[in-house]
Copies of this chain bind each other. A is one copy, B any other.
């Protein structure tokens, strides 16, 4: 796949300078670019690298002088934000799943698959599955009974979609992710579990001993609900999304979920959220729209997180968070409070020593 400089400029809505017929087949940083690459240099700090690049054309920062930099053609990125999505989409050759349905795939005769499907080797599609047009499904994917998926889905190798999952259009799911596993829900049937007893007692004087010892038997709560995923959702590799107990686990339109993430049963995630890598949501979390959770964030069960919340990396959310709050830390507090805490934490040993000194200086001061 290759494009001329003028085609690229036109697709991005920019004007080009110099030779619009330069044919470009890839994107690269100026230092690594070859003669058929479009070098990406949207910051003046790359000016030295551009001078030495083998590329003949580049995307440059506003105000750059492409001729002085020794290029044959250039695009000036007057609005930088859309450049990377637009350019990388143009140049993406896709995941290379051969057109048509591989003869080794096992597809139930009651399943319906829209026109234009590319389905790889050893794919398993169960009864009563409906998949929309232009599906691309990699090797070893399994899709269980009753699953519905909209148009333009892209399922990479090893994805598992369990029974009755409902998914909207334009769904992208990376390798080895599991959607629709049973919820982690176990009950003690004959008496209180040690966790329940602790929740009632903790805070009372001296209550850090667990109260139940002796036999316990965890009775399984079966997961009868499913997973419902709206349009334009993307999920990373090796992620887990559990089905609900008696209702659906829900992922809202436009939400993106990274690798190694855990979403518990009954969670309801809003629209246009970003959930970064290795985050974990326990069961029944209700989260609003446009929430951003930094990497390795954790959320306890049954919490409410409002719209537009942003959590810094490795935040531990143990209580509800109102809409529009930026939070950080363990347990989560307002972001600027955590920044102040971090500063004082580093000084804590000296602070404590100072207190001991104060007491030594003036022995009448309280102990």
Contacts and interface: CB of A to CB of B under 8 A. Distances in A.
Contact of A158 (B95, B138, B160, B352): B160
A47 to B, nearest CB: 19
A345 B209 CA distance: 21
Given A124-B120, A298-B296, A324-B209, A362 B360 contact: no
A326 to B, nearest CB: 5
Contacts of A82: 187, 189-190, 219
Interface string A276-298: 11101010000000101001101
Given A178-B237, A212-B290, A218-B254, 5 more contacts: A84-B187, A156-B160, A158-B160, A198-B310, A218-B272
A77 to B, nearest CB: 12
Oligomer: number of copies: 3
Given A28-B246, A349-B340, A126 B259 contact: no
Greatest chain B CB density within 10 A among A138, A345, A347 is at A345
Interface in A308-363: 308-310, 313-314, 316, 318, 323-327, 330-331, 333-337, 339-349, 351-352, 354-355, 357-362
The 6 closest A-B pairs by CB, nearest first: A357-B366, A85-B219, A88-B222, A208-B334, A175-B178, A178-B237
Contacts of A352: 344, 347, 351
B259 A92 contact: no
A268 interface: no
Greatest chain B CB density within 10 A among A92, A106, A198, A349 is at A349
Interface stretch (A3-11, A63-71, A109-117, A139-147): A139-147
A238 B331 CA distance: 27
Given A237-B181, A256-B186, A282 B277 contact: yes
B259 A260 contact: no
A148 to B, nearest CB: 15
A278 B259 contact: no
A259 to B, nearest CB: 4
A239 B236 contact: no
